[in-house]
Structure 1
């Protein structure tokens, strides 16, 4: 059978297996109603269908009914208890192939049919697997089929073996193990696990890190944690007791406790540890206790100024962008694009155009990785691949007035597990005035200055202990920026004052019994560039010193030391790093389209605003990651675009790192990027780029990491793409005449007026200017506020008291139910 080759590999209903605590679910103090934004044009509609919009509830329901009817031989159950049951984990849109979409966008063909991508838990010959299928075309008809989906996975298969099918059993076993050694934990840690009450504020929790998974062998280290119920600070409440486990058998009765580790000493058995504790010279480590130091809020302090509210942005005359909420289509100041969502990767944008010309076909996150280092059994090899937990599924409601301005437009996040789910107000769109001018210049006779505004599409994904704020920003000149900020609790290491901890080697002591734990955040994005069309090429423009001679310099200067530009075409698929001293510019040009001055139309890729250049992974050939994240080894990659290479990663890579279903190294295989060398290559390039930080946490990260210290971004800047700066058409600004007689300075105020422009009373004629009169003093370009405005309180500080308090199921980064459907109550 043939089916459209499309799939953005996501398993956002996933979460099993990484080293982390059975952290309990945190509460979210407000719910669905966001403060309404001013009404937009009722007649604005997208010119084209959004081919990337998620399945509707009706489509998902049809798919589920079809599966239960057509896949009867699988004995699918609607109420799974573990990974050995056959059931539908989730379904979502199978995004169409670009080769199927482009003819529709250019009015040469009808829209391609819609398909669903389905993830099934399936047991074959007693072994549990997770399998991908394509179901379509939709709506369901006699033409609809269910086919294995494997073309877009370079492992050549549509499945990954599930290493721990009995996830609930594993959770219970870990807590029971801790409870069975309560005599030890009470003496060493002052608390015991309570398997009967997961919300016990005094009960210990467990976190596990897989050490080895191969050929049916699964070895873990498990660490004990305080719960942090009051502050959700579980990840900074590790305790100093660790136990090694062998959970290789499918029968939990055969799982084994291997050895214990405490204060730098290994104990081969539980009895050995008990015997050691009874010795008079046994040294107790301090306990890492919760307290006010983990509080995220301070309701008592009153430094000068806190009694006043902060400044806020307002939008009293409505939005300047246009939004088709049904089609999720946005238009602003020459930009147009479609919004799409995914359970695993959150928000992506498609068909981004500027002033009618194509710029980027697809822009979206691929994976978010955090890799730790340390000298204890947990931090020594801990890593996360966060799409496994569902960065789209973990997009929660945004807070108007805090996450986004009160006037923002809000969109929901929809996904489909055992039933369709909607998280309201989880995407916001708004225009915002920057804290700096876009352009200014002062001459002898006048000053011209322009306001800088951006359109921002924002979402926040909470994955366990971290909240990631991800922005797509658009600038008036055609620039696009992708920015990530992180906040939340760090994942700390236990600090034994007299133990083997090498202070300063992996972090710093930041409280009584914890130290920071150095780690790399590397967050990968895909940018499928179509600069004025699909035929693009990548150039490195070197800025290099040179020595030369000029006839007009001689004889006084026989040789001149200067610099020049040198182009280096990228001829093969490659990974490259940001250049030293910004000594090269990375440019994507259209192969043959020129601007009015005969220069190739292009865009520049450059580090944007944030804490320095975005990094790549420090660790070489990570023993924990295996082949699951080779994209993290360089700052950016330039590859040929292929329908069979849709993503840099797949969430299931997390549970099969040595043999991932998507191996990025097989994608970046040095194929030619020259159309002259391969007649089948049309010049369609994809750039995979990384954001993130080398996070060396310190006392400033207690209690939470701050967003302005964790920001990174990449910008795409027009480079000869336009004939001149296009922002002149859309920017708002003012031109002020100066008094040239007495040198630079404002025109002297009239009698009785002050020189403060904010308080000066100006006539309408002066405001708008008289073109034919040399006496014009102030001339605005773009609209101004000519009269005072009246604002409702909600425009300044949205009321949140009316929100219905409800609990959000935040991924707890542990052996929980995220991989297998909704988290259980």
Structure 2
């Protein structure tokens, strides 16, 4: 019987109203297996066929532009009458003007509030476009805003300058613009020529490894270079590292680096002026081919370790050589919504309702998933909650690691949202949504890239047992089931798989969680480089680095007039008349005050300060200001290096735990997508957000950092594990209500024992769901699970 229940539960995660959906390989596979065994799925399953629907109260004004609008914008930009003199990207060269990408422009909050809170019409929609303008006298990258949409006679094309404070608006110098395929191709002839001239050296040093160009059949190495590629846009370079590609997977090449680096200057649009700056190998710098060859012929370039040619050890597949775990052939426990889905969605407007929570989901190619108009019991908590940047900075005694700082929005992080595997990336039966972005004049859709599901917290939300002297050992016991709704996406940006979770708890708390898995950007191993990480394979070192993920929380506690209250926990000496024998003694008390000015700040030592966004004009029944506390979770960190030349001014947002500013339509993002190559002259300078503006009774934005100092280890092979690379923060009601928000939950048990020992067990009508299918013949073995 227990086996039948288990099988029914597993099946129900794929059954929808006793019928399998038309997609999903594993769903079809399970159905075929059960059909073959004579399973009768005519009884109700544990799931409805989809989440119940609802209608969003307003249009999702934060949604991206439609594919029709993208095409219309594309055609407008390429219309000769627009005067942009554009070349189709596939045909373009460095000295042409061409579109890099098109996306939606954020909608100003000042225009949105009258619509969602009043009777105003919906604000106009605009697109934003980055155009590489290599055909100008001073070539650059310029961002434009196009609208209103849909395209009509009223639609204009204007420079998008107002959201950037670096002094040049939406313009980025050519040398600092995104290093796209055109720029890569322009450097390829020089790279191939240099490496071809030293192929005998690289072949001798690296087990036959040679590079004659990325498309040359003789090439058996891969090249890679990171960012930044410029300091201020006046010059540009590539610091190139070489790796073995890996016989099974090119992505495993992250784990097979070679001790060979080529440094190149690639300033300007004239590739004939690019030149070799030098080579680095064996922890030495050679400024020319002649210097390198002289060292090779003198026998001083010998490698102490050979890198592995077979990278099978770096693949995320089954490794039987590690041994066998008892009972591992059984399916692992899973989160199952056995009572049916308890949340509602409006899939068209990307709107969700759950246990008195409501919010909209938006998406952009650069930031990925964003949440808007987050309300609990009809009252707004946050206007916006969004990831702003994923920064990584490395350290090491070689050019690639020492030079590397990544801003993942530079690589259009949102476009790297991938398909989520049901039952593994997200529970079976989750609600899946696609995301779409635009490549030139076409729409690209990533299928099943956002999942929504309710999960058991695996601990009660609240509980108490009142002790007693009867046979049961208690007088009464109350316990409330803990559950939460999670909205999840995973972005694979090159080597790392970032998992983003927004978790909505039953008590009105909201948790933000980031996890990191994927390949290390590793370095070649040298015994004397242990200060930058341990040896993790034959010739591979795990490179020490930081992950800093910056978020924006635009709080509107009841209204847009909020303050940031600080309650410092202090140890003070005092005396109390009723303890005369103690004289003065130490105890704790709170020193509470409102933060006055915009500032960046860190968590207090020993966490002896509570930070709360409050509405100074609204109180609960007890006269306390209503607010939400900012609760540090796991691994709340900031960037370790505060004065590095590679992250000098363009990464200021990553250098403190927290920051508070006043909301302005001109400051929608803490960063710009092309900022990474401007450490000395950023397009968006976060430090300029702080201009002594008062944050008392104002529209506040909290910027907060999650992440992890990645102390690399052998257990990062083949990839980093989500269990350890984990960071979180919680926003929890702080006197926002008059009491805890658990009393209205029916999923609870109340047990009383009277003086005679009679036990009363109250279920409030919520029992254990039954969803047992039947078999027409006994099942002895299905999927490796044996009936006992």
Same structural fold, with TM-score higher than 0.5 when normalized by the shorter chain: yes
Structure 1 residues 740, 466: closer, same or farther in 2, change over 3 A?
farther
| CA contact 2:248–2:312 (8 Å) conserved in 1 | no
Please give the secondary structure, in 1, of the residue aligned with 2:369: strand
Could you say if the C-alpha distance between residues 269 and 701 of structure 1 is closer, same or farther in structure 2, counting changes exceeding 3 Å?
A: same
1:440 maps to what in 2? 463
- For residue 477 of structure 1, report the CA deviation from its aligned partner: 0.6
Kindly tell me: are residues 787 and 632 of structure 1, through their superposed partners in 2, closer, same or farther at Cα, counting changes over 3 Å? Answer: closer
Give the whole-Å Cα distance in 2 for the aligned partners of 1:713 and 1:83: 43
Give the Cα–Cα distance (whole angstroms) in 2 for the partners of residues 97 and 558 of structure 1.
Answer: 60
Match of 2:289 among 260, 267, 270: 270
Give the Cα separation in 1 of the matches to 2:146 and 2:300: 66
Deviation, structure 1 residue 370: 0.3
User: CA shift at 1:287, angstroms?
Assistant: 2.0
8 Å Cα contact 1:242-1:260 kept in structure 2: yes
Q: Confirm whether residue 514 of structure 1 aligns to residue 540 of structure 2.
A: yes
Partner of 2:715: helix, strand, or coil? helix
Distance in 1, matches of 2:301 and 2:120, equals 78
CA distance in 1, matches of 2:360, 2:765: 27
- Structure 2: any 5+ residue segments left out of the alignment? 1-22, 29-46, 467-473, 776-781, 784-788
1:598 to 617, 620, 623: 623
1:770 corresponds to: none
Structure 2 counterpart SS, 1:674: coil
Count matched residues: 717
Aligned to 2:518: 488
Residue number among 393, 397, 403 corresponding to 2:425 in the alignment = 403
The residue that corresponds to 1:707 in the other structure is: 722
- Cα 1:42–1:784, aligned 2, differ >3 Å: closer, same or farther? closer
- The question of 1:502 aligning with 2:529 is answered yes
Deviations 1:351-403 (A, max 9, x none): 00000111000000111100011111221221111100011011011111111
The answer on 1:732 being equivalent to 2:755 is no
Contact 2:338 2:769 in 1 (8 A): no
Q: Alignment partner for residue 297 of structure 1, among 287, 298, 317?
A: 317
Q: Alignment partner for residue 148 of structure 1, among 127, 140, 159?
A: 159
Determine if contact 2:94/2:269 at 8 Å carries over to the other structure: no
Which of 82, 102, 108 aligns to 1:97? It is 108
Q: Is 1:56 the equivalent of 2:66?
A: yes
CA 1:787–1:198 in 2, change beyond 3 Å: closer, same or farther?
farther
Say if 2:550 is the partner of 1:524: yes
Specify which of 67, 83, 87 is matched with residue 73 of structure 1.
83
Task: Report SS of the residue matched to 2:78.
Answer: helix
Deviation at 1:106, TM superposition (A): 1.4
Matched with 1:367 is 389
Within-5 A mapping of 1:620-699: 620-674=642-696, 683-699=698-714
> Counterpart of 2:258 in 1: which secondary structure?
strand
Per-residue CA shift, 1:236-273, capped at 9, x if unaligned? 21111122222225322332223222212333321222
- Residue 160 of structure 1 corresponds to 172
Per the TM alignment, residue 566 of structure 1 is displaced from its structure 2 partner at its CA by 0.9
Alignment of 1:277-296 (within 5 A): 277-280=296-299, 283-289=302-308, 290-296=310-316
SS in 2 for 1:378: helix
Q: Which aligned pairs between 1:268-347 and structure 2 lie closer than 5 A? A: 268-280=287-299, 283-289=302-308, 290-300=310-320, 301-347=323-369
> Aligned equivalents of 1:257 and 1:341: distance in 2?
42
Name the stretch that deviates more: 299-308 or 540-549: 299-308
Q: Is contact 1:32–1:397 with CA below 8 Å preserved after alignment?
A: no
Q: How does 1:18-37 map to 2 (within 5 A)?
A: none
1:589–1:509 CA distance, 2 compared to 1 (3 A): same
CA contact (8 A) 1:413 1:423 kept: yes
Contact 1:34 1:425 in 2 (8 A): no
1:346 to partner: Cα distance: 0.6
Post-superposition Cα deviations, 1:159-197, rounded to whole Å, max 9, x if no partner, equal 112326633222454345323321111001121125364
Q: 1:84 to 1:194 in 2, by over 3 A?
A: same
Aligned to 1:785: 768
Q: Identify which range, 512-521 or 254-263, moves more after superposition.
A: 254-263
Taking a change above 3 Å as real, the CA distance of residues 32 and 87 of structure 1, as seen in their structure-2 partners, is farther
Deviation at 1:788, TM superposition (A): 4.3
2:735 counterpart of 1:720: yes
Q: Which of 548, 553, 564 is 2:589 aligned to?
A: 564
Structure 1 residue 43, shift from structure 2 partner: 5.5
Q: Distance in 2 between matches of 1:395 and 1:532?
A: 33
Report the Cα offset of residue 65 of structure 1: 2.1
Equivalent residue for 1:129, pick from 140, 143, 153: 140
Matched, 1:107 2:118: yes
Q: What is aligned with 1:18?
A: none
Q: Whose RCO is larger (CA < 8 A, sep 6+)? A: 1
The more displaced of 575-584 and 171-180 is 171-180
Equivalent-residue separation in structure 2 for 1:584 and 1:391 (angstroms)? 34
Residue matched to 1:394? 416
Counterpart for residue 581 of structure 1: 606
2 CA distance for matches of 1:643 and 1:562? 46
1:75: Cα distance to partner?
2.1
CA distance in 1, matches of 2:743, 2:734: 16
Quick one: which of 218, 229, 233 aligns to 2:252?
233
CA contact (8 A) 1:213 1:219 kept: no
| Map of 1:23 onto structure 2 | none
Residues 506 and 524 of structure 1, relative CA distance in 2, 3 Å threshold: same
CA distance in 1, matches of 2:493, 2:60: 28
After superposition, the Cα gap between the structure-2 partners of 1:601 and 1:201, relative to the gap in structure 1 and judged at 3 Å, is farther
In the other structure, the counterpart of 2:482 is 452
Q: Within 1, Cα distance between the matches of 2:264 and 2:381?
A: 52
Higher helix share: 2
Q: Is the 8 A contact 1:240 1:285 kept in 2?
A: no
Aligned-pair distance for 1:786?
5.0
Q: Which residue of the partner structure matches residue 221 of structure 2? A: 203
Compute the RMSD of aligned alpha carbons: 2.5
- Using the size of structure 1 for normalisation, the TM-score is 0.83
Report if aligned partners of 1:540, 1:585 keep a CA contact under 8 Å in 2.
Answer: yes
From the superposition, tell whether residues 68 and 206 of structure 1 become closer, same or farther in structure 2 (CA, over 3 Å).
closer
Whole-Å Cα distance in 2 between the matches of residues 200 and 313 of structure 1? 50
Render the CA deviation track for 1:614-633: whole Å, top value 9, x for unaligned.
Answer: 11011122201221111111
Alpha carbons of 1:210 and 1:601: their partners in 2 closer, same or farther (altered >3 Å)? closer
Is 2:228–2:678's contact at 8 Å kept on the other side of the alignment? no
Of 153, 165, 185 in structure 1, the residue corresponding to residue 202 of structure 2 is: 185
Unaligned runs of 5+ in 1: 1-30, 676-682, 742-746, 748-774, 793-797, 800-825
Change (3 A) 1:105 1:490: same
